[in-house]
Amino acid sequence: MYMQATIVGVIIRLLELNTDRKGVSMSMERECTSNESKALFSVMGMTCSACSASVEKAVKRLPGIREAIVDVLNNKAQVIFYPSFVKEEQILEAIMDTGFMAELIDDDISDRSHQVCRVRIRGMTCTSCANAIESTLLGIHGVKKAQVALATEEAEINYDPNLVSYSELLKAVEDSGFEAVLITTGEDECKVHLKVDGIRNDHSWRMIENSLELLPGVQTIDIDPRLQKVSVSYKSDITGPRHFIEVIESIGSGNLKAMMYPQERGSDSHKQEEIKQYYRSLMWSLIFMIPVFLTSMVFMYVPGVGHVFDTKVLKMLTVGEMVRWILATPIQFIIGQRFYIGSYNALRHGSANMDVLIALGTNAAYFYSVYTVVRAATSVNFEGTDFFETSSMLITFVLLGKYLEVLAKGKTSAAIAKLMNLAPDTATLLTLDAGGKILKEEEIDSRLIQKNDLLKVIPGEKVPCDGFVVWGQSYVNESMITGESRPVTKKKGDIVIGGTVNQNGALHVKATRVGSESALAQIVRLVESAQMNKAPVQKLADLISRYFVPLVILFAVSTWLAWFLAGKFHSYPESWIPPSMDRFELALQFGISVMVIACPCALGLATPTAVMVGTGVGASQGVLIKGGQALETAHKVNCIVFDKTGTLTEGKPVVVSTRLLRQMVIRDFYELVAAVEVNSEHPLAKAIVEYAKKFREDKENQTWAEAKDFISISGHGVKAMVNDKEIVIGNKSLMLEQGISIPSEAKELLLEAEGMAQTGILVSISQEISGVIAISDPLKPSATEVISILKSMNVESIMVTGDNKGTANSIANQVGIDTVIAEAKPEQKADKIKELQGEGYIVAMVGDGINDSPALVAADVGMAIGAGTDIAIEAADIVLMRSNLEDVITAIDLSRKTFSRIRWNYIWALGYNLLGIPIAAGALFPSLRFRLPPWIAGAAMAASSVSVVCWSLLLKNYRRPKILDTLEVKEIRVE
C-alpha cells in the first residue's frame, strides 16, 4: 500500500531537519530554506490601517516572505524572510514603491541566536490582561517575540538567552500581577527528572553529581535536595535515563533508590486545579449569598419572619440590614478578593479589564449599602434601601460564569490531551545475547526507553516509541496519529510511530526516537505552537479591548449622572421610582448594571477558542495547521496551484521503457545513470535507481560508482562526472543549455512518451544523447474528483510543474485542469503565484518537493503533502499528513467552518454588548418599565463568555464533507 511508508515518514521527519542529505544541491537548498532572517524597517508616512495593509500586501507579494507585520502606530515593519529567495534591499524597494519613505533599521532582532520558552500564566481574565503581559515582555531587552494566548493561558516567548534569562521573564510576568509557571525552556529536548530516595547528607548529593558528570553524553545536572530531584540534560545518542539510575544506585553501598520523577499532568492538572478553585469559591459564595437573598427578597413576605428582620436594633437600623451586612462582607472582600487583585494589577500597568468593571460595580453597591446602614444607625428618621444582595449576587453569578467558562475552555484543548495520552505508560524491553537470542523480557517505564533499545509489542498494545521493525509482521492502526482510517501493514524494515496500536501480530521494534524527540511529541508541540499564534482577525478584538473598559466606565458614570439629574429636576414622574428606592438609588442601579453587563471576555475568547478547537480537530483529521493566520487565510482561498509529481500523481513513478540510441550494454548504461541519480532525492531519480538494481547480479549491493562534481539543476535535471565521462540526465531544455544536440529519433520518443502521459528523460554520455527513459507516474485515484469538487467550491485549479509540456497537458486533461504551466523552474513557480496574487486571487500552493519550497513560501497558504521533503514541510503553512489529495478540501472546508464560527462569536459578543448596554442603561424603562437589576446584568455578562466558548466547542463535531468518504472507498478498491 502506498500510504504505508509515506505517512510514517512525514511525521518522523515533520520537525526533524537534521537528517543526512545527499548531493551538493540538496544541502544548498536546505540551508537557504531553513535559515530565515528578520529585518526591521522604519516606514514613514503611514496614517491609517489602509496604509499599513498596502505595505504589508506589497511585501508579501515578494518570493521568500515568511511573515510581514506592519505597525502603523510606531511606523515600523518587521519582515521574516528567506534570504536565498529575497534580499533586504528588495523588501525596502517594495515598501518604497507603495509611496512611503522607508529605511532598514539595524536592530538586534536580526540576531539569530534565540531560544523559545513556554510559560503558563494564571490570573488572566480578558484580552486586556493578555495584551498587558505581551507589552511587558516585549519591553524587555533581548525578547524578540512574545505571544500570550488567553484561551490556553500560556505564553510563548522568543528571546536571546545571552541578554535575558527565562527566570527574568517569569519575574516580569509576576511583577505584572500574574502567576507564572515555567513549562519548557527550549533546552528540554533531552532532559530527564529523577527522584532519589535514601539521601542523608549533602555529601551524597555531591557524589551523585560528580558520578553523573563522568558519564559520556551528560550535558547539565540540576539538583533540588528539597524535592529529592535530579534533572539531567543529555545527548540521547550516547546515554539515557537507565544509565543514570544505574550510576545513582551504585553509590553508597546500594542504599540509594532512583526512579523517574512522578509525572505531572501539566496543563491538565493546572486546569483541574483552576476548576476546583472556582468551584470552592462559588460554593462559599452561595453559602453566604443565599441568606442575603432570602432576607432581602423573600422573608419580608413571610408572616412573622419578616417582622423579625424588620426589628430595629439601633435607631433605624434593622436586624435584616445587620445580617445582610455581615454576610455580604466576606463575599465582597474575601471571596471577591481576586477581582481587587486583578483590578490593581491592570490599573498599575495602565490598562483596564473585566476585574475593574466588577470591582467598581460591586464596590458601588456595597459601599452605598454601608452608607445606608451607618445613616440608619445614626438617624431616627432616615429610610434607605441597601444593595448588599446586589453586590453578593453579582459576585456569585460572575463566579458561576467563570466556573462554567473554565469547564468549557478545558475541553477546547481536548485534541492535544488525547494526543498526549496516546503514549503508553510501560514497554517490554528485550535483552539479547551475542547471537541474537532473547535472554530476558522486562517491563519498564516507557520514559526509560533509550535509543537502540529492542522492544516487544504484542497485539493490542501501543507502540511505545518511534522505531523500525526488526522482526515480525502485523497491521498497525495509525489513525490516532495520521487520521488514516485503514490499518497499515508492518514488516521487517518498516517504520512505526509511538502511540499507534499493534493489531494482530507480535513485533520487535528498535527504538530510534524517544521522549521529546518522538513524532508524537513533535506533533503535540506543533499543535500547541499553532494554538498560540493569533489569527489576524484577533486584532479586531485587541483593538476594541484597548478602549472597551474605559468607555464602559465613562458610559456607566454618564448613565448614573443622567438618571440622577433627570430625577433631581423631575424630568420623569414619581411613579417610575420603585417603592423601595429613591431617585439616587434608581440612578445608581442603572449605572452599576451598565458597568457589569459589558463583557470584554467574550470578545477576547471569540477567536482563540475557535482556533484552538479548529487546529485540534485538524490534527485529528490528519491536517496539521500551523497557526491562526494559516487557518484564517485558507478560508479565503479561491485559487489552488498544484504541483504534479507526488501531488496529483502517486509520487511513486516507475520506469516503463528504455530506448538506447547508441551501441552499449543496458546494464552499463544504467550503472552510469544510477551513479548520478542516486545523489538526488527527486522521485524520478529514485525510480531510475530502483530500476537499475534489476540489472545487477547482486541486488542487495547499494553502492554505485563515484559521481564527481554532481550538480542538480532544479526543474531540469542533473549532471556529474562518472568514470571520467560527463553524464547529463534531464529534459530537452537542459540538453540545449548544455549545448547537446537532440537527434530526431529522441524527439519522436519523447513525443510518444508524452502522448501516453509518461515522462521522457534524456540521457547524455560525453555530450551525446545515448538513451531515452520513459517513466510513468499514475494519477492518484481521487485526483479528478478533488478537482471537480474544488470547482463546485468556486476554487480555480492550476497545475505548475517542472515536467515537459506534453506529459503535463496529458495529466491536466485527465484531471480536468485547464491552465497548465510546464517546464517551470522553482522561481518560475513562485513568479506564477505572484502573478495570480496580482490579479486578486488568494492562492494556495500544494506541493511536496524541494523545488516547490519557493512557491510554498510565496503562496498565501502553502500546503505540503505529508510524504514530501522536510524542506517543503518546513516551508508550508499546512501539512497534509496522510498525503491524500482530498485533505486539501478538508483543510479549506475546516477553515471555512472555523471562521464561520468566529464570525458568529463576534456577532454574539458585539451584538450582546451593543444590545445589553443600552437596555442596562434603561433604554426600555420609559416605555416598558423594564430594567435589568445589577445581579441579572452580571449573570448575563458571565453567560456571554460561556456561550462563546460553547459555540466554539461545537466545532468538535466537525465532519469533513461526506463526498470525501466515497473517494476514500474508491481508493481502497483501487489498492
The predicted pLDDT at position 648 comes to 87
Greatest mean pLDDT range, 377-386, 514-523, 772-781, 962-971: 772-781
* pLDDT over threshold 60, residue 55: yes
> Taking residues 43-49, what's their average pLDDT?
67
* pLDDT over threshold 90, residue 625: no
Greatest mean pLDDT range, 275-279, 328-332, 366-370, 380-384: 328-332
Cβ-contact 911, 928 below 8 angstroms: no
Residues 6+ apart with CB under 8 A from 783: 648, 649, 814, 815, 885
The predicted pLDDT at position 849 comes to 62
Residue 559 to residue 570: CA distance in whole angstroms: 16
Greater pLDDT, 190 or 738: 738
Maximum separation of any 2 CA atoms in the chain, in Å? 125
> Taking residues 182-195, what's their average pLDDT?
71
Identify the band that residue 867 occupies on the pLDDT scale cut at 50, 70 and 90. Answer: low
Catalytic (active site) residue 202: no
The predicted pLDDT at position 770 comes to 92
The predicted pLDDT at position 532 comes to 64
* pLDDT over threshold 80, residue 545: no
For residue 28, give the amino acid letter.
M
pLDDT tens-digit map of 881-936: 877 888 899 999 999 999 899 888 888 888 888 899 999 999 999 999 898 888 78
Task: Label each residue of 107-121 as H, E or C.
Answer: CHHHCCCCEEEEEEE
Q: Which strands make up the sheet holding 37-44, listed edge to edge?
A: 65-71, 76-81, 37-44, 101-105
Which entry of 355, 643, 831, 893 is annotated as an active-site residue?
Answer: 643
Which helix (DSSP H) or strand (DSSP E) does residue 419 occupy? helix 414-420
The predicted pLDDT at position 385 comes to 78
pLDDT tens-digit map of 470-520: 999 999 887 766 656 678 889 888 888 888 889 888 999 999 888 777 777
* pLDDT over threshold 90, residue 600: no
The predicted pLDDT at position 939 comes to 81
Identify the band that residue 34 occupies on the pLDDT scale cut at 50, 70 and 90. Answer: very low
Which helix (DSSP H) or strand (DSSP E) does residue 519 occupy? helix 519-532
pLDDT tens-digit map of 923-970: 999 999 898 888 788 788 878 888 888 888 888 888 888 777 666 545
* pLDDT over threshold 70, residue 682: yes
* pLDDT over threshold 50, residue 100: yes
pLDDT tens-digit map of 327-371: 999 999 999 998 898 888 778 777 777 788 888 888 888 998 898
The predicted pLDDT at position 482 comes to 62
pLDDT above 90 coverage of the chain, percent: 19
Q: How many residues does the structure list for the chain?
A: 975
The predicted pLDDT at position 651 comes to 72
Taking CA atoms, 831 is separated from 306, 580, 854, 858, in Å, by: 83, 75, 9, 8
The predicted pLDDT at position 324 comes to 92
pLDDT tens-digit map of 699-717: 666 688 888 888 888 768 8
The predicted pLDDT at position 673 comes to 93
Mean pLDDT (the chain) is 81
The predicted pLDDT at position 740 comes to 92
